[in-house]
Amino acid sequence: MQIKSAEFVISNSEVSKCPSDNIPEYAFIGRSNVGKSSLINMITGRNKLAKTSGTPGKTQLINHFKINKNWFLVDLPGYGYARVSKTTKKEFQSFITDYFKQRRALICTFVLIDSRHSPQKIDVAFMEFLAENEIPFAIIFTKTDKLKPKAIAQNIAKYEAEMLKDKFEYFPKYFTSSSTNKNGKEEILNFINSINKDFNSGSL
Ligand code: GTP
Ligand code: MG
């Protein structure tokens, strides 16, 4: 899929104020600093569309970007940022959980996981939350430029084992990505394109 246009639409902290266009929406979530905003820039080929930073906690709001005039990419704040207060964490939780529970247009969520780490409780717990609320999601293992393919495969296998151990019956669809060398761009865009087609044909 070619990205012909990518426009910032609105930032806000209230789901009720998110755009009301009835078009498919894809959200990017994961720990602070995992590379959500960078990935949005990489797949759209627009380096400055979403704001990125080496310091965790850069993205603070729900940010809507309209792509090719007929679907949304949504950049969200990260979870698990140790330096914010408990109150801020709680506020963040309700704001983000409201988005996931109430956003009807949300057709698929991408949960970003740093490919360098073994399974983290907070990521598994977040995916359980999505599954419990019947919110479709796929995983994207990020920053693959920082690791050898064998080590990436080992970490993914550990995730699979961890998730299948308990709550999950199958391992979700997953991708690998690097915003540095553009690994994953085509696969992620093809996946979005196929869902958009199903949506537009009425089969979703
Ligand atoms: P918050 O908005 O703070 O939650 O972070 P985020 O998940 O949006 O991360 P962001 O895209 O801002 O990237 C965080 C840092 O990781 C930045 O310094 C990026 O340059 C770096 N980064 C992101 N993706 C990659 C990647 O694929 N490879 C490498 N090497 N660095 C990356
Ligand atoms: Mg961000």
Check residue 83 and give its pLDDT.
61
Residue 128 C-alpha from the chain's centroid: 15
Task: Look at residue 204 in the predicted model and tell me its pLDDT.
Answer: 73
pLDDT attached to residue 70: 95
User: pLDDT (tens digit, 9 = 90+) per residue, 83-109?
Assistant: 666 666 666 678 888 999 999 999 999
Q: Alpha helices of the chain — where are they, by DSSP H?
A: 36-44, 86-102, 121-132, 149-165, 185-201
The parts of the chain modelled with pLDDT lower than 50 are: none
CA of 30 to the centre of ligand 2 (A): 9
Separation of CA 179 and ligand 2 centre (Å): 13
Q: Whose CA is nearest to atom 14 of ligand 1?
A: 33
Between the CA of 26 and the centroid of ligand 2 the distance, in Å, is: 15
Please report the pLDDT score of residue 94 as a whole number.
80
Instruction: Look at residue 58 in the predicted model and tell me its pLDDT.
Output: 87
pLDDT at 39: 98
Domains and CATH numbers, the chain: 6-13+22-201 (3.40.50.300)
Q: Which of 49, 52, 62, 122 to mutate to test the pocket of ligand 1 (most atoms within 8 A of CB)?
A: 52
Residue 202, pLDDT score: 83
Looking at the CA of 38, name the nearest ligand. Answer: 1
pLDDT at residue 167 in the model = 82
Ligand 1: residues with CB < 6 A are 32-38, 52-54, 56-59, 77-78, 142-143, 145-146, 178-180
| Distance from C-alpha of 192 to C-alpha of 8, rounded to nearest angstrom | 19
User: Quick one: which ligand is closest to 55's CA?
Assistant: 1
Return d(Cα 26, Cα 114) in angstroms, integer. 19
Q: Which residues, other chains included, contact 177 with Cβ-Cβ below 8 Å and sequence gap of 6+?
A: 35, 39, 42, 140, 141, 142, 143, 144, 183, 184, 185, 188
Whole-number pLDDT of residue 85: 66
Q: What's the CA gap between 4 and 14, in Å, rounded?
A: 29
Pocket test for ligand 1, best of 43, 48, 53, 112 (most atoms within 8 A of CB): 53
